[in-house]
Amino acid sequence: MLKHLKSSDSWQEKSIGAKGFTLIELLVVIVILGVLGAVVIFSVRGVNNNSKQSSCRTEKRTLGTAIEAYYAQNSTYPTGIAQLVSDGFLRDANTYGYSVGAGGTITGTCPP
């Protein structure tokens, strides 16, 4: 295909600049791609913070559900998270620093 283009009369009539990309055109494309890449990186950076907060809220809801399930089965609230784990209502005690208070209240806050 390239030999066919080079042998055509219209190819011979074109100047050197018309036969390919110039350095300026390539630099403009590289700069545009760099700007787009920077925009994407900075817009994605905040997603991590939102995921941590969402995970923390979900953990709190899961803990609340486990407390209510324990109460429904035993007619009393658990004394702590360890009791929920030992009775099979939670898999592990990793609850972002939450604890179970009197009357099944959840105390603690999400980490920043």
Domain containing 96 equals: 52-107
Residue 66 domain-assigned (yes or no): yes
Residue 25 domain-assigned (yes or no): no
Q: What digits encode the pLDDT tens for the residues 60-82?
A: 898 899 999 999 999 999 988 88
Q: How many domains does the chain have?
A: 1
Q: What digits encode the pLDDT tens for the residues 100-109?
A: 888 888 888 7
pTM flag (> 0.75): no
48 and 103 Cβ atoms separated by less than 8 Å: no
Residue 56 domain-assigned (yes or no): yes
106 and 86 Cβ atoms separated by less than 8 Å: no
